[in-house]
């Protein structure tokens, strides 16, 4: 993963897991499988090289064989503005299907 690992990044922003419409209603949940609990997005920057990544983390729902696995996808973005755009325009599944992550991790949490 070169210089960009969890120890060398700083969190720039954590996004609301339930993006809102202008009227305040929930637009969608970020979770890949929407059981209402496990899904976050955050923007980080590598302290060494300066690259920005939009990180999407989630667990599959309780009925999955992989429910004890934390999935984490790192999408390289050019800046905070692009990360905000992705967050506003893509559900968790859309982001996963339409944009290739720079890095993908599966972390067993048991």
Domain ranges in the chain are: 6-108
Low-confidence ranges of the chain (pLDDT < 70): 1-6, 29-38, 61-64, 66-67
In this prediction, residue 6 carries a pLDDT of 62
- Yes or no: say if 104 and 66 are a contact pair by the CB < 8 Å rule: no
In this prediction, residue 3 carries a pLDDT of 66
Phi and psi dihedrals of 106, rounded to 5? -125, 115
In this prediction, residue 29 carries a pLDDT of 64
In this prediction, residue 82 carries a pLDDT of 97
Q: Residue 108 pairs with which residues in a beta bridge?
A: 69
In this prediction, residue 74 carries a pLDDT of 94
Contacts of 104 (CB under 8 A, 6+ apart): 71, 72, 73, 74
In this prediction, residue 100 carries a pLDDT of 93
Is pTM beyond 0.75? Reply is yes
Q: How far apart (Å, rounded) are the C-alpha atoms in residues 51 and 108?
A: 27
Q: 6: helix, coil or strand?
A: helix
């Amino acid at each position: 993963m070169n210089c960009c690992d969890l120890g060398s990044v700083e969190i720039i922003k954590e996004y609301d897991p339930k993006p809102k419409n202008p009227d305040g209603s929930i637009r969608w949940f970020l979770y890949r499988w929407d059981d209402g609990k496990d899904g976050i997005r955050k923007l980080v920057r590598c302290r060494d090289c300066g690259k920005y990544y939009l990180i999407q983390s989630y667990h599959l729902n309780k009925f999955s064989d992989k429910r004890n696995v934390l999935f984490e996808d790192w999408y390289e973005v050019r800046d905070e503005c692009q990360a905000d755009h992705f967050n506003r325009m893509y559900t968790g599944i859309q982001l996963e299907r339409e944009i290739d992550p720079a890095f993908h991790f599966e972390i067993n949490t048991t």
